[in-house]
Structures are given as structure tokens and as C-alpha cells.
Structure 1
Amino acid sequence: MIHNDEKDSAMAAPIQLNSMTAPIQVETSVETIDPATAARMLDANVNNRPLRKRVVDSYAEDMRAGRWIFNGEAIKIADDGTLLDGQHRLAAVVQSGVTVRIAVVRGLPRSAQESMDAGARRTAGDALSLRGEKHSHTVAAVARLILTQGDSVNRQVSNAEQVELINSDPALRWVVGSVVTGELAQLKYVAPTALIGYAYWRLHHVDSYACAEFFQRLATLSNLHAKSPILALHKKLIGHNTGSGYKGRREGLSMIFSAWNAWRKGEDRDFIRVHTNSKGHIVIPEPR
């Protein structure tokens, strides 16, 4: 239910907007919305874009985990009661079973919906940059890959989830710093920085000393014999487009982890393959 006594009375005063035709009167308030209220508001969702389940799942997970923060972004309702904006947040309230405080704007013309969501969405990298985070967009990109285990297509993660991981894992910032400006910076000419950062983070948690040696040799090509898996990997990455979205990223990880496993076993390699299963789907080996 909406608790009227919890509405911000200072914000609830009607505001008159002079349009080209007639004054528009809107009312803005901050309301405590529980799942039942959210469900009723969604009943008026008769003209909106398709609901994106991944977005709802991400919001609901933030709400359940206590990461959902009031940021002033409003649910928008037309003067005839139609829900114009906020369906994903309301659906997440229903799905999570959590009560949240959300700003609500009522009384907008239905035509206002045409201009909503026209701006660029603020990413986790943008949010980190505002805090003064170094290499903010790369840090966020690596965090996203960690949270999705390299599969950021089939699972969406929220900005809050990425920031929480970054703040809880000191190795992440150190890895990104090494890859962006440290001794491994030249690997940006071999593969995308976020891909190298994620691979380094994964292998660091398998064997930190071996990981440091593996990437140092990949960057410098020092102390490598002719059939070294690391040398074969370098040649393959140089000639391969690992920056082309989901497929290229999975191919890159498949090659890096294959070379790592071969190197750890002391095996020779003339070339590194991208592994696929019987259906032709790219397989990423488990690094050992």
C-alpha cells in the first residue's frame, strides 16, 4: 500500500507547466510502494515497450540484496492514470517481494512518453568515474565479465552489483591497473583490455604466481621456445578479432585458457584452437 503519511509533503504540491496549448498540472511525491501497490500500478501499463526480463531480474536481485538506493528517478503516470514509465522497477518490486521508496510523478500528458528514455543510460563506469575511480570503464567492464562469468549477453548485472564487487575484491583494481598502465599494457595490441583483465583475474585465482609469469611472457615474448603455447597464443590473438562482441570474447577466452592449460602441463603447441562442442557452440575450458 502507499503510505500517505510517508509522502514528502514539500514535493507533493502541484506544479503547473505551461505548454503550447494549455497548462499541465503535475504532482510529484515520494511514496513507499509495496508489491501489492506495484501490481495495481502495473495494471495501468497498457501502452509500453516490452518488459525485459533480464532488467527485472537484475533490479529484483538488487532489491533483495539491499543494494537498491533511492535516486529520485520517478515512476511516471499520465493524467488518465496510464503508466508511462517505471514498469521494470514496479515489476521488480512484485518479483522481489520488497517494499521500496520511489518518486512518483502524476498528471503528465500521455504524449510525454515519446520523449522518455531518450538520454544515454549512465553505466557503472560512468558512476565510478564520478567518484574519481581510475580506469573506471575498464574496471566496470571486468567486473561485469566476472559477475557473468564472461557471458554478459545472457545475464544482466546492475551498476550497484558491479560497484559492490569492485569494492569487495581488492585484486580487481590491481589487475586492471597492471593491464592498463603497468607492465602488461602492451597486451592491448593483442586483445581488448577488459578481456585480458578478466582472464588475468580468473587465472590469478587459480595460481597467482603462475598467472603473473604467464602474462608477463605473453606481453614480452621472453624465454619462450618455438613450440610454447604462449607463443602460439600470441600469434593467434594477433591475427584474431577478439573484440567483436560476444562471439569474439568467447573465442578469446577459449584460446587463452587453452594455452594456459597446455602451458601448465608442459605441452607443446604449434597453434591454439578455439574449442567448440557438437552443436558448434564455443567451449571455454576450465583453467587449471
Structure 2
Amino acid sequence: MPRNTVPGLTREKPEYTVVEVTPKLAEKWLKQNTHNRKVRENAVFGYARDMEAGKWAENGEAIKFAKDGTLLDGQHRLHAIVLSGVTLRMLVVTGLEIVTQETMDDGRKRTVADALTLRGVPNAVQLAAITRRALMWKQGVYRNVGSRPPTNAETLTFLGEHPELKDSTSIAVSLRKAVALPSSVVGLTHWLFSAIDKDDTDWFFDRLGTGANLEQFHPVWTLRKRAYEISNEPGRVPEDMLLAFVIKAWNAYRDGSQLRLLRFTPGGANPEKFPQPK
């Protein structure tokens, strides 16, 4: 099929139009997608979820076509419109030189931390990371990986629903120099534990930071010791292992038990289930 068969896309010079892009129109335009990078399914799924939830922002980013009608930029958005079944207003630019595609999407993608910084929110980087992990945890993703990572819109919406994450982030930042654990782990566990028992959480994290009045093999004593041992070992320990250690220490503290060793073995013949705070 020739690349200029979609009516109205061929132009000799750049023109700018706002168009109501329906799923049917998006399918037509995708037939002109003959000169583009490989589609990233995770991006399409994320965009589609935002569109279905009404969280897609009309931010001026354009769907772009070359002079001959070739789709240059916007394939992921168009695939998401088809997948979601949602009609959206889009800025459409036609009549571009095909070589301009080499300069498209050349900037760094804005992150949740960027959005929070623009809002003037303190500890934006740490808050973004902790909110993302909290949302993943609620979705049943306990390790910092997943086939469906949260979108910026989903993460910001979750933060709006759980403003207490800002308090957990403040605690994590305040303990950054005292505890050999990532802020994302400290912030996430503080948020999880606070929903179970606020007084126990306050005591647990106060002692985690100070180490004061802890007997040998008290769960917090063992956690502090293990965290510092790991921080001095070569290589990088996965975040989910450290997260499991904190939860195990918390559970032992809540049970009133001593804790001599901290281990987590998610692989092998008998993989250990990820611990849940109680």
C-alpha cells in the first residue's frame, strides 16, 4: 500500500491541526507506520490505562507525519487509543521532512520526580520512588520489577489518594545517614507498618535510626547489623532482599521474638515466599 493513501495527510509544508482521534482513525493512521522504531508494549498498555481512567493530559505533544504521509511520531499513543477505545483530541502536524524523525523524542522523558519538583514538593526524588513502590506493592508486585510499571499519572493519582506517603518519605530522608538501607525501602516499610500499628512503627524506626537500648539479637539490632554488613560487601544487593529483611525484622519485633539471622532465599528448588508485614 502506498504511504500516502490516508486522506488529508500529505502536505508540502508543515501544517498544524487539532483532531478528534477516534480508535478507527488511529487504526487508519497506523497503516502509515512504515518507518518507525519497534513498538514498546509496556508503553502502549500504560498509555491505554491512563486514557481509560481519564488521566491522559492534552499537553501539546503532536502526532507527526512526513510530507508523503508516513507516520513519524505517535505510534504508541495511536496504539493506546485503539486498545482503550477512547477518542482524544490530538495536535497533528503534517508536511514534515522525513529526516526530522531522527531528532524526535531526543529529550529526557519527564518523571514523577520532575512533576513533584515543579509542584514545589519537598524530597521529590525520594517521594516519587517510595510512591511508585507503594503502588506496586498494592498491585501485588513485591519486587522492584514488573511487566506493567506504573505510569506517571497512576503514580501521582496514588499519591493524591495516600498523602501520608509524604510523612513516610520524611522519615526515610531523616534516617538516610543513620541507616544503611535505601530510602525507598525505609519509606515503603514505614508506610506499610504505620497502617498496622502507628505506635509500634514509631518505636521501630526510632530504634532503627539510633540503635539505642537494643539488646543483642533484638530484631532491630539484628537488622541494623545485617544492613551495615551488606553495605560493606562488594556488589549490589537487590532492593527486594533488603525489603524482605526489614519486614522479617518487623514481624519478629511484633511477635516479641529474638532474631539471630536474617536470610531471604527467593530462588532455588524451594523458593521462599515474600514476607508480609503483620
TM above 0.5, yes or no, is yes
Query: Structure 1 residue 153 and structure 2 residue 141: aligned?
Result: no
Cα contact 1:55–1:156 (8 A) shared by 2: no
SS in 1 for 2:65: strand
TM-score of the pair, normalised by structure 2: 0.87
> What are the within-5 Å matches in structure 2 for residues 80-95 of structure 1?
80-95=68-83
**Which position in structure 1 is the counterpart of 2:86?**
98
**Which position in structure 1 is the counterpart of 2:201?**
211
What stretches of structure 1 of length at least 5 have no aligned partner? Answer: 1-13, 15-23
- Over 3 Å counting, the alpha-carbon distance change for 1:110 and 1:159 in structure 2 is same
> What are the within-5 Å matches in structure 2 for residues 245-284 of structure 1?
248-279=238-269, 283-284=273-274
What stretches of structure 2 of length at least 5 have no aligned partner? Answer: 1-10
- Over 3 Å counting, the alpha-carbon distance change for 1:151 and 1:53 in structure 2 is farther
Query: Structure 1 residue 113 and structure 2 residue 81: aligned?
Result: no
What is the CA–CA distance in structure 2 between the aligned matches of 1:131 and 1:208, rounded to whole Å? 29
Query: Structure 1 residue 166 and structure 2 residue 159: aligned?
Result: yes
What is the CA–CA distance in structure 2 between the aligned matches of 1:267 and 1:286, rounded to whole Å? 17
Q: Of the two structures, which has the highest relative contact order with CA contacts closer than 8 Å and spacing of 6 or more? A: 2
What is the CA–CA distance in structure 2 between the aligned matches of 1:146 and 1:41, rounded to whole Å? 38
Give the % identical residues: 37
- Over 3 Å counting, the alpha-carbon distance change for 1:96 and 1:279 in structure 2 is farther
- Over 3 Å counting, the alpha-carbon distance change for 1:283 and 1:113 in structure 2 is farther
Deviation at 1:207, TM superposition (A): 2.0
Query: Structure 1 residue 186 and structure 2 residue 177: aligned?
Result: yes
User: Residue 13 of structure 2: which of 2, 14, 25 is its match?
Assistant: 25
- Over 3 Å counting, the alpha-carbon distance change for 1:37 and 1:73 in structure 2 is same
Q: How many residues align?
A: 261
What is the CA–CA distance in structure 1 between the aligned matches of 2:256 and 2:80, rounded to whole Å? 50
- Over 3 Å counting, the alpha-carbon distance change for 1:114 and 1:280 in structure 2 is farther
Runs of 4+ with >3 A deviation: 184-187, 277-283
Deviation at 1:277, TM superposition (A): 4.3
SS in 1 for 2:258: coil
What is the CA–CA distance in structure 2 between the aligned matches of 1:28 and 1:281, rounded to whole Å? 56
> What are the within-5 Å matches in structure 2 for residues 33-72 of structure 1?
33-72=21-60
Deviation at 1:280, TM superposition (A): 7.3
**Which position in structure 2 is the counterpart of 1:235?**
225
**Which position in structure 2 is the counterpart of 1:137?**
125
User: Residue 78 of structure 1: which of 47, 66, 73 is its match?
Assistant: 66
Q: Give the aligned residue type for 1:79.
A: K
Name which of structure 1's ranges 200-209 and 86-95 shifts more when overlaid on structure 2. 200-209
What is the CA–CA distance in structure 2 between the aligned matches of 1:79 and 1:203, rounded to whole Å? 58
